Structure 1
């Protein structure tokens, strides 16, 4: 990612390009499709072999056996108790299944896949040295020289917040804040990544950084493995049954818990969106305590400054936290007031039908 250091205004860290001077302007450009974001915090895994789709289907929460070339989906790998261990965005080109994963999860997921091969015709490998990931609107990333080693352009179109076949939505908010969201991630060769950096350094291509991309994600209530997932996380808590779980597919590790919580119980925590008081100026760090009065009822998973909504966050709180309570969040040495918006309602799980609610966001609603 150091190749982007020559882009005017570039600020980088070990995860990649953070911004190029103004994250708010970059957010608008990303959403409008006039900029792309090099996603240095992603890695690429490849699984080749004739058995790859049926094999992944047997291991993960998603139905993959009949995934068509070019079709986008995502999967979760769960532990025996249904907790999320790994997550991946998935696209197949007819010859190879490509997994886009958070950098911190790549080694663990690849190691687990290698241990689970047995005698099947599958060959997982890390393809990150060959390919980089670039994000933006579908039209914006498809203007790049997208990798197509199997003849199918490797562009993953984020299915969020749609409800996939066999999926289930817990959010009762209508319209969903991501109802018109357009997000895609393209695999490009490392030489194309170099060309992108050169074009940006000459002012011929607009770039956005990870700060802008993450702010749009938080505003869309979109969970990520590196942020919303801890050792206790269940897909139900994050409304991730929408796009990453097929409730009617065959057996996989953790399926019993998924079915039991969905049909008979309630997830112990629920994801909420927080509209933070911006007067303090402080933005809470991931892991910051969320309080009801003096009692800690949860923790921040992600926080961002959105170009329209101001300071916002996602947090996991106890299921029993009152939905109309004004919470506070620890930030530096202060407590910041936080108005919550329900993502996963307390009734999620055993109660299959709950009334839909109108959004409370300050952003214009989709008509």
Structure 2
């Protein structure tokens, strides 16, 4: 049953949950400061239980999971035989159950695929989306939310981004990384607890933020999301996802050969860029809008947001050959929008990745 936000002042919700509570820019500030939490209606919960759960997930995915300690969060990717991203999951284990927090659009497909891959191993896959929900915020903000794990271990996943995880590799060469101060966690709660959180917000006891604010903070941190930034051709290298979701020296898994070949011998054919958009005409692009260098089409927008400090921003996937030293243009339904680009994945990422660290572009103050 959908959560009822009608009692929360300013709340705007849809089939994907709470979009905002009237002020996405203020909500971003509240999230960063730990003064608000965000019900994540576009996220779902899967569980994998059984003695073989971690070694089994390890054998199927890009991350080293066999010895994942209880309460430690990481993430992993399911790749196709050509190394392309098919599914993504944030993972935390409580000692008895592996909890997979996934995008809504990816949940059913991932659950079906995992179920088909059980064979005779001692694992059980369940989709818990009908009785559990996810709430996000800073680590401190979600710390008070009730754990639902059977062992009593809090079911809270802390985002490792943008730190390079053991066995990972970071391609972004800008310092400081825009996600360096990112403090983001997601907690699993019962639907009854979510209703209590919403009721407390209606009484003015706590503050809520919507997914627009959550996504703006993600885009500003250059943090990829499978439902937004990964198309059917996406390689983890192209999104700088090697830093948190891929272990380069673990055992075999589907797609590993391509991951190793691109990283060690070649270059990803496309690359992620961050765009600071010209906001003078108050025009925001949409995902899928064409990105040009001069008159040449070089890629497309994947995510776009209005950030409380940086103003209008976006992520885009462009050809590896796209020039890095020119401003780009985004073709929107309301006309072209100029965009200053910041290189996330360098053109020489992979075999010859050895470029100096670059200073970040200056921030712009956004009017609220």
Query: Is the pair's TM-score, using the shorter chain for normalization, greater than 0.5?
Result: yes
C-alpha distance in structure 2 between counterparts of 1:327 and 1:226, whole Å: 24
CA distance in 2 between partners of 1:309 and 1:5 (Å): 31
Q: Deviations over 1:242-300 (max 9, x none)?
A: 00000000000000000000000000110000000001211111111001122210000
RMSD: 1.0
Matched residue, 2:33: 32
| Residue matched to 1:112 | 113
CA distance, structure 2, for counterparts of residue 35 and residue 146 of structure 1 = 19
Cα deviation for residue 70 of structure 1 reads 0.3
Partner of 1:318: 319
After superposition, the Cα gap between the structure-2 partners of 1:270 and 1:361, relative to the gap in structure 1 and judged at 3 Å, is farther
Residue 328 of structure 1 corresponds to 329
SS at match of 1:105: helix
TM-score normalized with structure 1 length? 0.98
Q: CA deviation at 1:8?
A: 1.0
Contact 1:96 1:150 in 2 (8 A): no
**How much has 1:130 moved relative to structure 2?**
2.1
Q: Distance in 1 between matches of 2:184 and 2:147?
A: 15
Where in structure 1 do 4 or more consecutive aligned residues deviate above 3 Å?
none
CA offset digits 1:196-239 (Å, max 9, x no partner): 01000111110000000000000000000110000000000000
Q: For residues 332 and 363 of structure 1, what CA distance do their matches in structure 2 show?
A: 25
The answer as to 2:75 corresponding to 1:74 is yes
Distance in 2 (alpha carbons) for counterparts of 1:258 and 1:281 = 40
Q: Distance in 1 between matches of 2:296 and 2:6?
A: 44
1:44-123 to structure 2, matched below 5 A, reads: 44-123=45-124
Matches of 2:57 and 2:75, distance apart in 1: 11
- Report if the CA contact (8 A) 1:110-1:124 is conserved: yes
CA separation in 2, counterparts of 1:76 and 1:290?
A: 27
Q: Secondary structure at the match of 2:57?
A: helix
Quote the residue 1:297 is aligned against.
298
Which residue of 2 is the match for residue 286 of structure 1? 287
Using the alignment, how far apart are the partners of 1:235 and 1:145 within structure 2?
Answer: 34
What does 1:225-304 align with in structure 2 at a 5 Å threshold?
225-304=226-305
- Residue 71 of structure 1: SS of its match in structure 2? coil
Q: Distance in 1 between matches of 2:152 and 2:142?
A: 17
Q: Tell me, yes or no, if the aligned pair for 1:273 and 1:313 is still in contact at 8 Å.
A: yes
Q: Using the alignment, how far apart are the partners of 1:77 and 1:5 within structure 2?
A: 38
Shift of 1:363: 6.1
The answer to whether residue 186 in structure 2 is matched with residue 168 in structure 1 is no
TM-score (norm 2): 0.97
Residue 267 of structure 1 aligns to a residue whose secondary structure is coil
Aligned residue for 2:36, secondary structure, equals coil
Q: How does 1:17-28 map onto structure 2 within 5 Å?
A: 17-28=18-29
State the distance in 2 between where 1:10 and 1:146 align: 26
Aligned length: 364
2:6 is paired with a residue of what secondary structure?
helix
SS in 1 for 2:196: helix
Cα separation, 2, equivalents of 1:84 and 1:53: 20
CA distance in 2, matches of 1:146, 1:200: 20
